[in-house]
Amino acid sequence: MHWRFRQISDLAVSWAGHRVVPVMLIAFIALWAAVGLSISFPRQWFLLTNMLGTLTIFFILLLVQHSQNRDMMALHAKLDELIRSSKAGNHWIAAEKNDADAIEGMRQQHHGQISESAN
């Protein structure tokens, strides 16, 4: 089930990011407006438009967030492995789990070490 969701999510995100999608959306909006004008925009027309637009945006937002979370976890795993295999200090591994002040302190310490070695 989890594998199937990931596959569907990847397909939907790649489809939503395709360059043809904005053209299709403009054509759909023009058709929607033309049909609405021909039937004088009844009240239900606006309700349906709002509901479909909100649900579509919410669904795409969830799919994109899922994809970004997975990509970010993979990126962190790769960076951790690069840190482990290099001469960098292992204190940088999983630095993203620290709070903002601790990360800034680590960054300042690193910049201090760079300036000392440059002199």
What's phi and psi for 103, nearest 5 deg?
-65, -40
Look at 27-36, 78-87, 110-119 and tell me which has the smallest mean pLDDT.
Answer: 110-119
Mean predicted lDDT score pLDDT of the chain: 82
> pLDDT by residue (tens digit) across 29-65?
899 888 888 888 888 888 888 899 899 889 888 888 8
pTM (2 decimals)?
A: 0.57
Distance CA 65, CA 84 (A): 28
Most confident listed range (38-52, 90-104, 105-119):
38-52
Domain boundaries, given as residue ranges, for the chain? 2-64
What's phi and psi for 18, nearest 5 deg?
-70, 150
**What interhelical angle do 2-16 and 43-85 show, nearest 10?**
110
Distance CA 88, CA 41 (A): 64
Of residues 116 and 5, more confidence is placed in 5
The pLDDT value given to residue 116: 61
Distance CA 112, CA 98 (A): 20
